């Protein structure tokens, strides 16, 4: 998936709209600017098609495609003989309509004022300018209509969601995903379980218990999380704590029970570690010597490689979908106690890392990764606890 932001093309092509009040550029009566804006939309459109020609599955053309004429231009482009002969696109318009003045003001303050458009512009002046820009958009705005084909309409940031002619797997997933979005930003804490006995002996998979060092981490981590301002709030109670159904994460999560006996811990099967099939319980060295073909195949393409009778990273990504939807939907901070492969996928989703890099990400034992999603990107803070795992732990991410 890749997003093509028409505003980003404008920022390069019409740099006079940057860093100062520029509402006039968005006035539909300003013919010269309207022409330029159309050109930027066409550039983004062509690049999005190029991305789809090269195997991309979902391209987002992000911009003010808010007139019938602009949307017709998009439809005509994909229906043109040249494009249609190379690409069969399932076009879905996504319209976000907001009547809630408070939400609009919040969005201007939190998002728009941070945009490069208003760098060095005094906040009051920027707010005034952006409201003027909205007024221009409103003058030209034509709601998406049934005769324009498939569309999804989000009203007041998801209070109502309307789907029209949503057909096919991906459009349906997108609609379902949008139903889970919550604009309130909450922190997500990710940690692997404390060191397990399997980690100590360098064996993968299995359902081993924590080592003594792992137990110390579980306690130190729970003590620290409980002290965090995100842990408790009066209206919503304590942060959600999720773990897998495997002994090592359940044992890690149970450290909270010692401090807060009635704490709720949710066990998700979807958070279980990648299933290494016939390689479960073996060390990497054993796999290399006993099954050299498997070892080489995995080294060649770790993302797609599926362990015989087990899973691939791609399988794990797929089974994590409901977890991601719940994380998006949650209005409360969440602590996820899981495993290396699983957390690599979740971390990469929030950090928007390329899919190929997922299986190679370093996520150490005895470390909490705090993700703070922002409007433009997610910030990450890393907390270690001065607790080394056992010396002979041959977990490669620990060296
Ligand atoms: O070694 C710990 C572990 O969580 C294993 O259970 C799992 O098979 C492995 O890490 C996943 O990491 P990688 O995909 O790099 O082998």
Q: Tokens for 4, please give them.
A: 């093509």
Sign of CA dihedral 9, 158, 335, 339: negative
Q: Same structural domain for residues 299 and 226?
A: yes
Instruction: Answer yes or no: is 289 a known binding residue.
Output: no
Average pLDDT, the chain: 92
Cβ-contact 263, 253 below 8 angstroms: no
**CATH number where 25 lies:** 3.40.50.300
Instruction: Answer yes or no: is 234 a known binding residue.
Output: no
Cβ-contact 93, 62 below 8 angstroms: no
* 310 assigned to some structural domain: yes
* Residue 399 confidence (pLDDT): 34
CA 283 to chain centre: 32
Burial 170-192 (b: 16+ CB within 10 A, else e): ebeebbeebeeeeeeebbbbbbb
* 99 assigned to some structural domain: yes
Q: How confident is the model at residue 126 (pLDDT cuts 50, 70, 90)?
A: confident
Residue with the larger pLDDT of the pair 139 and 368 = 368
Element (H, E) at 88: none
For 18, which DSSP code? S
Report the alpha-carbon distance of residue 210 to residue 203 in Å, rounded. Answer: 13
Q: Same structural domain for residues 172 and 204?
A: no
Concerning whether 339 is annotated as a catalytic residue, the answer is no
**CATH number where 325 lies:** 3.40.50.1240
- Domain, as residue range, for 347: 188-393
Last residue of a domain, one of 163, 180, 197: 180
Q: Same structural domain for residues 249 and 280?
A: yes
Q: Which of 284, 300, 304, 339 to mutate to test the pocket of ligand 1 (most atoms within 8 A of CB)?
A: 339
Q: In 3-state terms, what secondary structure has residue 57?
A: coil
Q: In this structure, are strands 334-338 and 240-243 parallel, antiparallel, or unpaired? A: parallel
Q: Same structural domain for residues 152 and 235?
A: no
Report the alpha-carbon distance of residue 339 to residue 192 in Å, rounded. Answer: 5
Tell me how far the alpha carbon of residue 274 lies from the centroid of ligand 1, in angstroms: 7
Last residue of a domain, one of 145, 180, 215: 180
Q: Same structural domain for residues 206 and 349?
A: yes
Q: Same structural domain for residues 274 and 132?
A: no
pLDDT digits (tens, 9 = 90+) for 154-209: 999 888 999 999 999 999 999 999 998 877 789 999 999 999 999 999 999 999 99
Report the alpha-carbon distance of residue 9 to residue 42 in Å, rounded. Answer: 10
Instruction: Answer yes or no: is 248 a known binding residue.
Output: yes
Q: Which of 369, 337, 364 is nearest to 351 (CA)?
A: 369
- DSSP track, 132-181: HHHHHHHHH-----GGG--EEEEETTTTEEEEES--SHHHHHHHHHHTT-
Q: Which of 199, 239, 245 is nearest to 222 (CA)?
A: 239
Report the alpha-carbon distance of residue 49 to residue 180 in Å, rounded. Answer: 28
pLDDT digits (tens, 9 = 90+) for 60-102: 999 999 999 999 999 999 999 999 999 999 999 999 999 998 8
Tell me how far the alpha carbon of residue 385 lies from the centroid of ligand 1, in angstroms: 22
Q: Which of 277, 284, 341 to mutate to test the pocket of ligand 1 (most atoms within 8 A of CB)?
A: 341
CA distances from 342 to 241, 284, 349 (A): 16, 18, 11
Q: Tokens for 65, please give them.
A: 């495609």
* 141 assigned to some structural domain: yes
Last residue of a domain, one of 164, 180, 196: 180
Q: Same structural domain for residues 246 and 387?
A: yes
Instruction: Say what percent of the chain tops pLDDT 90.
Output: 73
Q: Same structural domain for residues 20 and 147?
A: yes
* Residue 299 confidence (pLDDT): 97
Instruction: Say what percent of the chain tops pLDDT 70.
Output: 97
Only one residue has tokens 């690409």, namely: 87
Concerning whether 273 is annotated as a catalytic residue, the answer is yes
Q: How confident is the model at residue 398 (pLDDT cuts 50, 70, 90)?
A: very low
* Residue 396 confidence (pLDDT): 60
Q: Same structural domain for residues 111 and 203?
A: no
Q: Same structural domain for residues 302 and 346?
A: yes
- Please count the structural domains in the chain: 2
Q: Which of 28, 228, 23, 256 is nearest to 125 (CA)?
A: 23
pLDDT at 231 over 90: yes
* Residue 395 confidence (pLDDT): 61
The top-scoring range by mean pLDDT among 11-20, 82-91, 118-127 is 82-91
pLDDT digits (tens, 9 = 90+) for 332-353: 999 999 999 999 999 999 999 9
Average pLDDT over residues 127-147: 92
* Residue 385 confidence (pLDDT): 82
pLDDT digits (tens, 9 = 90+) for 283-303: 999 999 999 999 999 999 999
* 398 assigned to some structural domain: no
Say yes or no: CB of residue 333 within 6 Å of ligand 1: no
* Residue 161 confidence (pLDDT): 94
Q: Which of 193, 238, 339, 366 is catalytic?
A: 193
Q: Same structural domain for residues 170 and 221?
A: no
For 262, which DSSP code? T
* Residue 162 confidence (pLDDT): 95
Q: Same structural domain for residues 111 and 260?
A: no
């Amino acid at each position: 998936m890749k997003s093509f932001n028409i505003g980003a093309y404008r920022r390069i092509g019409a740099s006079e709209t940057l860093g100062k009040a520029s509402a006039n550029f968005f006035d539909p009566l300003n013919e010269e600017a309207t022409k330029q804006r159309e050109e930027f939309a066409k550039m983004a459109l062509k690049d999005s098609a190029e991305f789809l020609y090269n195997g991309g599955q979902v391209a987002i053309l992000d911009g003010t495609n808010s007139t019938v004429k602009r949307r017709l231009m998009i439809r005509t482009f994909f229906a043109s003989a040249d494009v249609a002969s190379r690409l069969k696109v399932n076009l879905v318009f996504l319209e976000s309509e907001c009547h809630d003045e408070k939400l609009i003001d919040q969005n201007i303050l939190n998002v728009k004022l941070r945009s490069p458009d208003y760098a060095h512009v005094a906040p009051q002046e920027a707010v005034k300018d952006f409201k003027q820009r909205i007024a221009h958009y409103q003058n030209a705005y034509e709601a998406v209509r049934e005769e324009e084909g498939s569309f999804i309409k989000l009203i007041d940031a998801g209070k109502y969601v309307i789907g029209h002619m949503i057909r096919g797997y991906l459009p349906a997933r997108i609609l379902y995903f949008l139903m889970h979005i919550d604009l309130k930003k909450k922190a997500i804490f990710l940690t692997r379980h404390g060191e397990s006995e399997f980690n100590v002996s360098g064996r993968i998979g299995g359902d081993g218990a924590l080592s003594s060092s792992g137990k110390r981490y579980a306690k130190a981590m729970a003590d620290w999380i409980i002290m965090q301002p995100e842990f408790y709030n009066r209206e919503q109670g304590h942060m959600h704590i999720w773990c897998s159904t495997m002994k090592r994460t359940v044992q890690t999560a149970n450290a909270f029970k010692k401090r807060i006996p009635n704490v709720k811990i949710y066990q998700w099967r979807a958070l279980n570690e990648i299933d290494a099939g016939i390689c479960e319980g073996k060390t990497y060295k054993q796999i290399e010597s006993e099954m050299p073909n498997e070892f080489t195949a995995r080294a060649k393409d770790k993302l797609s490689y599926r362990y015989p009778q087990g899973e691939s990273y791609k399988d794990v990504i797929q089974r994590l979908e409901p977890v991601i939807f719940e994380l998006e939907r949650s209005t409360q901070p969440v602590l996820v106690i899981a495993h290396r492969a699983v957390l690599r996928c979740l971390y990469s989703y929030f950090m928007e890392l390329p899919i190929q890099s997922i299986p190679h990400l370093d996520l150490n034992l005895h470390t909490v990764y705090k993700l703070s999603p922002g409007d433009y990107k997610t910030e990450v803070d890393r907390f270690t606890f001065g607790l080394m795992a056992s010396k002979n732990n041959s977990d490669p991410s620990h060296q």
